[in-house]
Structure 1
Amino acid sequence: MTTPFPADVYAARLDRARALTLEAGLDAIVVGPGPDLAYLLGVEGDTIERLTALVIRAVGEPTVVVPRMELAKVRDTAVGTLGLAVSDWVDGEDPYALVAAAMPAAPARVGVSDALPALHVIPIADRLGVRAELATPVLREGRMIKDAAEIAELRRAGAAIDAVHRRVPGLLRAGRTEREVAADIAAAIVEEGHRTVEFVIVGSGPNGADPHHEVSDRVIRDGEIVVVDIGGAVPAGYNSDSTRTYVVGAPDPEAARRIAALVQAQQAAVDAVRPGVTAEEVDAAARTVLAEAGLGEAFLHRTGHGIGVSVHEEPYIAPGNALPLREGMAFSIEPGIYFPGEWGSRIEDIVVVTADGCERLNLAPHGLTPAGA
């Protein structure tokens, strides 16, 4: 494979991770396959029973431990372009000894990425004689603040998913099932520039009142509200995530009024975003509008989540999160209202924090959008 970014981008990310490791008082961190390794080196894939790991020392150079059968694939990433030290192993050898050899002498504090399973964490900790800690505070700090290359990919993803939403009214009509509509949407996600389809939610009528409903064989009926929440990864691995609410035929006037209030709540949260404002204050901006409209109890979840190489990552825009926003953070703003047994609605955009506010990456119409009857 080839990495989506130049070598100097990955070099800067590794340097930042090393500095944050030192700042956190850790001697080293061990990063397994998953979003963190994709972010740091462009190495993709999931954890398997054979250990692949990046060892980042607080002082010194990093080392990649990898099964020899995976060596060629790993070297065709930033591991190769940066000339990182590689310790490869074959079945029958002890990869945890290689992790130990890559550590500084007598490490006292070692962090592990949250995607690394107990299958590997426990042997690493036993070999080192330490109690492993989560490296999440180190790794999330790097990933939360997007660099210019990442923001460009998130813009690409936002434009691609907007193009899909523009096609949805022609796919939604009475008599079709949610599953049929979802299949067409999944095809459109790829056609509009994504390499993968991460999720497709089509919630019609009462199914829209379940925030995490996916699809079913339910037949869509005339006059129904339909929630469409979709996303995928563009070729560089960065994700889109956008939700719009549609109506097949003529909407119920009361439903239209409530959804108009939801659009106002979503806009209020977008307007609240700027450096220094806390995540919980952005959440409160949406929540206040809905409460004033008598819809506070219908809002069941947080206002948003970070996005990047993962669909859900930090920061989380939620009550109780006093984290101040900083320029370069990227996250969703997606308040919703849900009425069990009746219908639901959610409006979602991705925004990036700028020096004096935010950039909205999704521009498809936000109001209740008519679809085919």
Structure 2
Amino acid sequence: MKNRKIFINSAGLNQPLKDPVSRETLHSARAYRLQRVREQLIRHDCAAVLLYDPINIRYATDSSNMQVWTAHNAARYAMVFAAGPVIMWEFHNCEHLCSHLEAVDEIRSAINWAYFGAGPRVSEKAAQWAAEIADLLRHHGGGNMRLAVDKMEPEGIPCLVGLGVTLLQGQPLLEQARAIKSVDELELIKWTIQVCERGIRRMADELRPGMTENELWAWLHFENIRHGGEWIETRLLASGPRTNPWMQESSNRVMREGEIIGFDTDMIGPYGYCADISRVWTVGHVQPTPEQRRLYRTAYEQIHHNMALLKPGMSFAEFTAKCWRIPKEFYQNRYCCVAHGVGMADEYPAIAHVGDDWQRGGYDGVFEENMTICIESCIAVEGGKEGVKLEEQVLITRDGCVPLSSYPFEDDWLR
């Protein structure tokens, strides 16, 4: 590895892809998303929603600032009124980051009352924060003091309730809003997937026996960042015995020729959208063993059987009941769900397996046109040497579902 050049591919991977997203597409996507949020507020008779989750803030306003950091530091928030302004509270001296956004009507300085920001003054700062929120509700809510909140430290609850605010769960409203994609959102998703596939191709090109899992995984990050992407939610790349059971994150393990290497991209790319794709190769791209072929064929069959079922109007319960049945030898190491929604991250719905999984955590609903869904498979014998993880990202259309990814499966493994 030390003597290799960084770029070795001759098929054009040196040059970044050209961003195809127009300003009109971006503006239309922003307007659609904000309208979806307001429709949910009206449906649930809420005056407004208060957002702390950076993905929800991004969805409603397209405002982005230190997304990962603010996911665990409550240092910025937004308030969207059903019939009123969109107000953004920004981190210290970051007001300029939202000045170009047409969806944001007013920018204020955030009051950080989480312990990291307020220390022993949490109660004081939370009271100050709550007074500002309640005052805005009285001013813009038309007499409605019902406020949805997606996430909040517990100290703030009695502060708001004491000022006459009725609190509701905001996360369900945002998940339902995010579930149906517009034509413009789909263009943004397709661009993120194109960037992700460039990263996958780079990994396939760079893969050599003797390199570590982390060295290979870094190429996906490289392509994502240089194309304006943002972060990767997990580190799910594993090789050889670390593929069974699945969910082991990338490490400094040196990969050996002929071993299975699998990954799950979980990539938050350009404009904040997610590309969630899993593929499997052999290290060195050598021919798979008979057992590797068997595992791969089985995972491929599960993915494509379940994709063929998807259509608008089908209930989650019906889909689960008709899904491919996992053979007993693979059941213990099954993936955590059959399928899940995807947009700016993994999102509603999460579809449980039939049987005990459904009884413990399943819930019903209906697939709708323009939902984007990931179909999952993990095939690994309990105690076996290796496993196969596959995942395909699809769009539900009026006629069924179509893949959003064009990255090929290993067709020669299916023979």
Answer 1 or 2: higher relative contact order, Cα 8 Å, separation at least 6. Answer: 1
Point out where structure 1 has 5 or more consecutive residues left out of the alignment: none
210-219 or 167-176, larger mean C-alpha shift: 167-176
Instruction: Note if contact 1:227-1:245 (Cα within 8 Å) is conserved in structure 2.
Output: yes
Check if 1:328 corresponds to 2:362.
no
| Partner Cα separation in structure 1 for residue 206 and residue 322 of structure 2 | 34
Check if 1:246 corresponds to 2:281.
yes
| Partner Cα separation in structure 1 for residue 25 and residue 132 of structure 2 | 29
Check if 1:42 corresponds to 2:62.
yes
Check if 1:203 corresponds to 2:238.
yes
Instruction: Note if contact 2:28-2:184 (Cα within 8 Å) is conserved in structure 1.
Output: no
Instruction: Note if contact 1:194-1:234 (Cα within 8 Å) is conserved in structure 2.
Output: yes
| Partner Cα separation in structure 2 for residue 117 and residue 330 of structure 1 | 31
- CA spacing shift, 1:256–1:90, aligned 2, 3 Å: closer
Q: Could you report, residue by residue, the CA deviation over 1:81-131 in whole angstroms, capped at 9, with x for unpaired residues? A: xxx2455578998333221111036655321013x4446x43652453445
Q: Which amino acid aligns with 1:265?
A: Q
Which TM-score applies when normalising by structure 1?
Answer: 0.84
Q: Could you report, residue by residue, the CA deviation over 1:32-66 in whole angstroms, capped at 9, with x for unpaired residues? A: 25111101111113268675433333444444445
Q: Any idea what SS the aligned residue of 1:153 has?
A: helix
Q: Any idea what SS the aligned residue of 1:335 has?
A: strand
| Partner Cα separation in structure 1 for residue 111 and residue 231 of structure 2 | 34
Instruction: Note if contact 1:202-1:227 (Cα within 8 Å) is conserved in structure 2.
Output: yes
Match of 1:357 in 2: 400
Q: Could you report, residue by residue, the CA deviation over 1:166-218 in whole angstroms, capped at 9, with x for unpaired residues? A: 33333333322212222234324445x35234044321111111322111222
- CA spacing shift, 1:72–1:50, aligned 2, 3 Å: farther
Residue of 180, 192, 196 corresponding to 1:161: 196
Match of 1:134 in 2: 169
| Partner Cα separation in structure 1 for residue 411 and residue 26 of structure 2 | 42
Match of 1:214 in 2: 249
| Partner Cα separation in structure 2 for residue 255 and residue 49 of structure 1 | 44
Check if 1:72 corresponds to 2:96.
yes
- CA spacing shift, 1:368–1:129, aligned 2, 3 Å: farther
Instruction: Note if contact 1:174-1:220 (Cα within 8 Å) is conserved in structure 2.
Output: yes
Match of 2:391 in 1: 348
Q: Which amino acid aligns with 1:154?
A: I
136-145 or 339-348, larger mean C-alpha shift: 339-348
Match of 2:46 in 1: 26
256-265 or 300-309, larger mean C-alpha shift: 300-309
271-280 or 124-133, larger mean C-alpha shift: 124-133
Instruction: Note if contact 1:275-1:324 (Cα within 8 Å) is conserved in structure 2.
Output: yes
Match of 1:295 in 2: 330
Instruction: Note if contact 1:158-1:350 (Cα within 8 Å) is conserved in structure 2.
Output: no
- CA spacing shift, 1:128–1:68, aligned 2, 3 Å: farther
Instruction: Note if contact 1:194-1:233 (Cα within 8 Å) is conserved in structure 2.
Output: no
Q: Any idea what SS the aligned residue of 1:69 has?
A: coil
Q: Which amino acid aligns with 2:211?
A: R
Instruction: Note if contact 1:3-1:42 (Cα within 8 Å) is conserved in structure 2.
Output: no
64-73 or 208-217, larger mean C-alpha shift: 64-73
Instruction: Note if contact 2:199-2:221 (Cα within 8 Å) is conserved in structure 1.
Output: no
Match of 1:146 in 2: 181
Q: Which amino acid aligns with 1:76?
A: H
| Partner Cα separation in structure 1 for residue 223 and residue 107 of structure 2 | 41
Deviation at 1:267, TM superposition (A): 0.5
Match of 1:264 in 2: 301
Q: Which amino acid aligns with 1:279?
A: F
Q: Any idea what SS the aligned residue of 2:274 has?
A: coil
Point out where structure 2 has 5 or more consecutive residues left out of the alignment: 1-21, 113-123, 354-361
Deviation at 1:9, TM superposition (A): 4.0
| Partner Cα separation in structure 2 for residue 62 and residue 347 of structure 1 | 40
Instruction: Note if contact 1:246-1:369 (Cα within 8 Å) is conserved in structure 2.
Output: no
Q: Which amino acid aligns with 1:41?
A: T
Q: Any idea what SS the aligned residue of 1:316 has?
A: strand
Match of 1:54 in 2: 78
Q: Any idea what SS the aligned residue of 2:298 has?
A: helix
Q: Could you report, residue by residue, the CA deviation over 1:262-290 in whole angstroms, capped at 9, with x for unpaired residues? A: 101101111111101233444555542x3
- CA spacing shift, 1:8–1:332, aligned 2, 3 Å: closer
92-101 or 354-363, larger mean C-alpha shift: 92-101
- CA spacing shift, 1:174–1:38, aligned 2, 3 Å: same
Q: Any idea what SS the aligned residue of 1:132 has?
A: strand
User: How many aligned residue pairs are there?
Assistant: 360
Q: Any idea what SS the aligned residue of 2:292 has?
A: helix
Which TM-score applies when normalising by structure 2?
Answer: 0.76
Deviation at 1:355, TM superposition (A): 1.4
